[in-house]
Each structure stands twice: as structure tokens, then as C-alpha cells.
């Protein structure tokens, strides 16, 4: 264990006042606040319905179960490179995963590959705003409308983001956000389902009404963990948890099963100031990303101003990626790898895909690194990170984001 300043790959603002609200919620139950929170979320995002559940994975699983209530179709199209939790949720609900290759510059679907994936058995497509980068929802909705396919927005990494003046998560038929650690805002773990479809909401309500809430014991454990996280996430202390391998920080797992419950009113009090926290978090991420755009030499410089949850860069090859990651670990810079494989190579479900491969998703898995964008970075941190990239990758770095002048 080496004692030194260490930047976490991702961090979400948790202030003492948030912990005070959480402690009061533990004692009081917080039921009045949860109702207010539901109203505030509906108003802020301009949706008719909002449901709070135990995690982002649970939110997606509830959505898929609700859609099954409305259709007998069984196939779910997902990006071949995405969070393993997306595949976990599909498997949890007994549906069939249909991966589709991606455009490595946007992480959105490769639309030439997507069209053949849409069949009479397609229940829905999960559009993922990976790292906060908007998927092309207009194009996707047009394709899906022709086939009678639902569009589900995975905005777990994009809460508060917008595209063409519309809030991500609200553009498709139904969407969800994550309140997990390291997301735009957090209460430890949690998820939010949002939709303006009365039909979909009615199907969700039938499932939601019978759910148990997270127990007091779990909420107490979650609260204590958040207290520790709020302390040890700071760069001058983050060396301590990173020196404990049993914590498995930064590792990616595929969960065959996970709990699906309502978010308790007690836990909801931890995000009592959620709008201010979300604005603060996203503003910091936007400003850090702009600094990276200005100071890292790139071939394809995008001008899109968005709150990147992490700032993604594809480098020339796996060797160069590993070199950057190793140097970052030595210096405590918080540069991280992401999902280790494409969906078709996840060991627990690999047999489902009968040898089908997705070359662009595989390329991203092998060459992607992500830079931290959170509020704990100093100007010196950003300079050191940029210098590292410019030394190792110039002149062949490729940035992975939309090439557009639109500011969100």
C-alpha cells in the first residue's frame, strides 16, 4: 500500500448536509419527503410518471417486465459494448439479448448493422447514453416506429444531460437513471424510472405495488458506507481503499441475480438537494471535459459541451492503452479502463450468441481509456493527465464523441 495523493476514477459530490438529511431520514422514516421527491422529479424532467427502485439494474428489469406485460415479443436489442448491468437485467427478466455492433466514435449503434436486428420478435431497443454522450434518439425512434418496437433509454450515466433541448431519459417511450455510487448524483444505490406513457406506467404500477422496500438494516449499512465514501473518496485519502484488493474497486461483474425493491423513503432523503447537486456535478464535469478538449492533442476534436461522466478516448492499440493505464496507476491520476469485453464475450452468457462477433465493440473494449471528470480534480491534475496523453499518443489520439458544434 503506497501512501500518496490518488485521484478516484469517478466521484459524486456528497456534502455533510446530505449526510445529515440521510441521518434524519433514518430516524424519521422520510415518507413525506419521498412523495415530494416524486413530484419534483416529474416536474423537473417533464414526465407524467416516476418510480423509485433499489438500483439502476432493477429499474431496467422493471421496465422490461412491464413491456412483457404489453407484448409477447422476447428479443431485446442492446449495444454490443455497454455496461454489463444492461445484459444482467435482460437475463434477469428471461428475455433474449440481441447485441448490435456500435459506432466507436459515438458508442451509439452502427445503424447499418441495426436494421437487420429489428424483427417481428423485437420487443425493445435499449439506447444507451454511454458516459453521457447522447444516442441518436430521433433516428432510432423512426426505425422503431416502423417495426412497433419500444425505445428504452438507458440514461444511467446521463442524468441531467440534454439533446436538442430535450432531457435524456425522456425522449424514448420509457427511460431510467441510476443513483449508484459514482453517477451524476447518488444516494448509495437506487434507480428512477420515468415515462409519459400511461400504458407503460400502468404496467409498471402493477409490478411496483407488490414490491417490498429496502430494509432499515440495509439503509443503515448504506448510510454508513456513504459516510466512509464521502471521506475516503478525497484524493489525499483515496490511496487507502485502492490499497485493499478485497474491495475490488474498478472491477466489472456480471450479476446473474440481484434484488428488485422499492427505494425506501429513508434512502430518498439522501438526495434531498438533488437538483442543486446534479447541477453542480454536471457543471464540473462539463468544465473538466472542455479543458481536456483544449489541451489533449486529438485528430477528431468535438465541440459538444456535455457533462461526461467519464471522458472517453480511444487510443491506437491495446499496448498503448495498457501503457497509459500503467503510468496513470503509478502516478495516481485516476485514468481507468472500462468494460473489459464486448457483450458477446461475457463469460456467463457467451454461449447465447453462437459465435457471433462484433468487431467495433471488441476494438473499443481493447483500446478505450477514460479520464476522470469530477469536481475533485485540480488544475494541476488536469495538466498532468493531459501531458501524459500528449507524450504517449501524439499524433494519433482519437477522441470518442460527437463532432458537432451543438452546446447542451
pLDDT at 2: 76
Asked whether 178 and 153 are in contact (CB, 8 A), the reply is: no
Whether 303 and 168 share a structural domain: no
Listed residues 208, 226, 255: the one ending a domain: 208
Question: Which residue's entry shows cell 436489442?
Answer: 77
Distance from C-alpha of 99 to C-alpha of 125, rounded to nearest angstrom: 10
Instruction: Provide the mean pLDDT of the chain.
Output: 91
Whether 140 and 285 share a structural domain: no
Q: How confident is the model at residue 248 (pLDDT cuts 50, 70, 90)?
A: confident
Which domain does 43 fall in, by range?
Answer: 16-208
Whether 147 and 278 share a structural domain: no
Residue 117's closest CA among 143, 84, 153?
143
Cell numbers for 289, please give them.
Answer: 471535459
Whether 56 and 178 share a structural domain: yes
Q: Residue 344 falls within a domain, yes or no?
A: yes
CATH assignment at residue 366: 3.90.1150.10
Asked whether the predicted pLDDT for residue 294 surpasses 80, the reply is yes
Comparing 226 with 405, which gets the higher pLDDT?
226
Q: 7 by DSSP, 3-state: which?
A: coil
pLDDT per position as a tens digit, 253-272: 999 899 999 999 999 999 98
pLDDT at 31: 77
Tally of domains within the chain? 2
Asked whether the predicted pLDDT for residue 299 surpasses 80, the reply is no
pTM: 0.94
Whether 201 and 289 share a structural domain: no
pLDDT at 311: 95
* H or E element that contains 307: none
Q: Residue 10 falls within a domain, yes or no?
A: no
Distance from C-alpha of 37 to C-alpha of 132, rounded to nearest angstrom: 23
Listed residues 208, 227, 254: the one ending a domain: 208
Whether 203 and 278 share a structural domain: no
Whether 56 and 190 share a structural domain: yes
- In degrees and rounded to multiples of 5, residue 30 shows phi and psi of 70, 20
pLDDT at 250: 83
Asked whether 283 and 104 are in contact (CB, 8 A), the reply is: no
pLDDT per position as a tens digit, 83-139: 999 999 999 999 999 999 999 989 999 999 999 999 999 999 999 999 999 999 999
pLDDT per position as a tens digit, 165-220: 999 999 999 999 999 999 999 999 999 999 999 999 999 999 998 899 899 999 99
Whether 194 and 278 share a structural domain: no
Residues 6+ positions from 324 with CB-CB distance below 8 Å:
315, 335, 369, 388, 389, 392, 393
pLDDT per position as a tens digit, 31-58: 778 888 999 999 999 999 999 999 999 9
pLDDT per position as a tens digit, 314-340: 998 999 999 999 999 999 999 999 999
Whether 293 and 154 share a structural domain: no
Q: Residue 146 falls within a domain, yes or no?
A: yes
Listed residues 187, 208, 229: the one ending a domain: 208
Amino acid at each position: 500500500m503506497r501512501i500518496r495523493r490518488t485521484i478516484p476514477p469517478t466521484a459524486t459530490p456528497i456534502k455533510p448536509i446530505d449526510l445529515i438529511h440521510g441521518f434524519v431520514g433514518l430516524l424519521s422514516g422520510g415518507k413525506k419527503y419521498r412523495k415530494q421527491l416524486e413530484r419534483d422529479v416529474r416536474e423537473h424532467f417533464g414526465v407524467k410518471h416516476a418510480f423509485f427502485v433499489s438500483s439502476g439494474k432493477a429499474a431496467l428489469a422493471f421496465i422490461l417486465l412491464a413491456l412483457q406485460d404489453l407484448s409477447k415479443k422476447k428479443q431485446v436489442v442492446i449495444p454490443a459494448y455497454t455496461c454489463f448491468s444492461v445484459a444482467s437485467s435482460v437475463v434477469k427478466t428471461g428475455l433474449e439479448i440481441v447485441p448490435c455492433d456500435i459506432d466507436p466514435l459515438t458508442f451509439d449503434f452502427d445503424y447499418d448493422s441495426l436494421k437487420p436486428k429489428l424483427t417481428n420478435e423485437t420487443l425493445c431497443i435499449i439506447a444507451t447514453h454511454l458516459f453521457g454522450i447522447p444516442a441518436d434518439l430521433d433516428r432510432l425512434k423512426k426505425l422503431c416506429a416502423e417495426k412497433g418496437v419500444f425505445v428504452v433509454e438507458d440514461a444511467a450515466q446521463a442524468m441531467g444531460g440534454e439533446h436538442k433541448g430535450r432531457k435524456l431519459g425522456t425522449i424514448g417511450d420509457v427511460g431510467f437513471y441510476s443513483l449508484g455510487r459514482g453517477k451524476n448524483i447518488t444516494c448509495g444505490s437506487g434507480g428512477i424510472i420515468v415515462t409519459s406513457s400511461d400504458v407503460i406506467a400502468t404496467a409498471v404500477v402493477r409490478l411496483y405495488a407488490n414490491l417490498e422496500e429496502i430494509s432499515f438494516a440495509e439503509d443503515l449499512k448504506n448510510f454508513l458506507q456513504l459516510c466512509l465514501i464521502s471521506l475516503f473518496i478525497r484524493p489525499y485519502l483515496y490511496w487507502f481503499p485502492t490499497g485493499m484488493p478485497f474491495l475490488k474497486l474498478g472491477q466489472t461483474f456480471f450479476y446473474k441475480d440481484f434484488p428488485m425493491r422499492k427505494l425506501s423513503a429513508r434512502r430518498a432523503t439522501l438526495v434531498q438537494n438533488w437538483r442543486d447537486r446534479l447541477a453542480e456535478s454536471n457543471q464540473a464535469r462539463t468544465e473538466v471535459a472542455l479543458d481536456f478538449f483544449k489541451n489533449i492533442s486529438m485528430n477528431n476534436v468535438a465541440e459538444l459541451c456535455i457533462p461526461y461522466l467519464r471522458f472517453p478516448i480511444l487510443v491506437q492499440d491495446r499496448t498503448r492503452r495498457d501503457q497509459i493505464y500503467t503510468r496513470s496507476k503509478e502516478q495516481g491520476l485516476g485514468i481507468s479502463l472500462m468494460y473489459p469485453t464486448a457483450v458477446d464475450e461475457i463469460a456467463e452468457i457467451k454461449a447465447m450468441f453462437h459465435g457471433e462477433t462484433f468487431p467495433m465493440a471488441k476494438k473499443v473494449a481493447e483500446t478505450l481509456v477514460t479520464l476522470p471528470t469530477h469536481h475533485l480534480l485540480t488544475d494541476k491534475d488536469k495538466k498532468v493527465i493531459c501531458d501524459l496523453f500528449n507524450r504517449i499518443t501524439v499524433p494519433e489520439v482519437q477522441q470518442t464523441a460527437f463532432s458537432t458544434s451543438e452546446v447542451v
